Amino acid sequence: MKHHRQSEPILIPQIDVMEAARRQGEAAILLDVRTPEEYHAGHAPSAIWIPLDEIANRIGELDRNKAILAICRAGSRSQSAAEFLALQGYSTSNVTGGMSAWAAAGLDITTDGTGSGEII
């Protein structure tokens, strides 16, 4: 079995927000890796929130049997999260364009309260 070397790029599937929303409806986990300020300002309904810098310590909260769709504001931090999770054996995809694209596509955004959220 070939061992992965850190210098080799990890190929992570890239999906758009419409595909992410569709797959979330099919039991995939939408994992929001943004900061507390960003998440609380507005996030996708039913997203699981684990900030990027906490993923290594909180990986046990993610179901290994479900696809993980990583999302951030634009797609860079979520790519890092997806690569890390892939190395741990998770099935991951990166949501291109992130929550900015999610909002632009007119998909639902919520806050922890009852109001609609915004992407900051």
Q: What is the pLDDT of residue 119?
A: 77
For residue 115, what pLDDT is reported?
63
Q: How many helices (H) and strands (E) does the chain have?
A: 5, 5
What is the pLDDT at residue 112? 72
CA 116, distance to chain mean position in Å, is 20
Taking Cα atoms as reference points, which of 67, 62, 18 lies closest to residue 44?
18
Question: From CA 99, how far away is CA 86, in angstroms rounded?
Answer: 21
Residue 95's region, left for phi above 0, alpha for psi from -120 to 50, else beta, is: beta
Of 52, 67, 72, 103, which residue is the catalytic one? 72
User: What's 14-104's CATH class?
Assistant: alpha beta
* Entry pTM: 0.89
pLDDT of residue 118: 73
The pLDDT of residue 2: 46
pLDDT of residue 117: 74
Residue 72: active-site member = yes
- Rounded average pLDDT per 10-residue block, the chain, 120 residues: 56 96 94 96 94 97 96 96 96 97 95 72
